[in-house]
Amino acid sequence: MTPLEILQRAQALISAPAHYTPQDGAVMADGRRCSVDDPRAVRWSAGGALAAATGFRLLADATLMPRVSTALATPGTARTPHDRLVAYGERHSHAEVLALYDAAIARLAGPENASDPD
């Protein structure tokens, strides 16, 4: 899976407001928190969607995570790119989170990345 595919898949998970939560992770229909890969999950956070889109592989991949986090260019001072994305999602609206994803997808889909073999 390429960084572009990961971002597109994650964005698709949270594209509708009903499928987004500002809380870190994921939430079931009854409002209880759950793992992002729980089949009962119906809402994901900005960071939870990334983990769900890759089945947690993204967080463990030493080459993929830096490429995805660079594309996201999430502002903030948190220690890790994932933590910055979580903090961003907690402080910004659903529309702003989608705009962050849109910008990252546009960066990766741009002509300078057209020959990217990943």
| pLDDT tens-place string over residues 99-110 | 999 999 999 998
Q: Is 108 helix (H, G, I), strand (E, B) or coil?
A: helix
In a domain, 117, yes or no: no
Q: 116 pLDDT exceeds 50?
A: no
The helix-helix angle for 64-72 and 81-91 (nearest 10°) equals 30
In a domain, 46, yes or no: yes
CA-CA distances (angstroms) from residue 21 to 4, 11, 72? 22, 13, 18
| pLDDT tens-place string over residues 26-71 | 999 999 999 998 999 999 999 899 889 887 666 667 677 778 878 8
Bigger pLDDT: 19 vs 53 = 19
In a domain, 103, yes or no: yes
For 68, the domain range is 3-111
What is the domain count for the chain?
Answer: 1
In sequence order, the β-bridge partners of residue 33 are 27
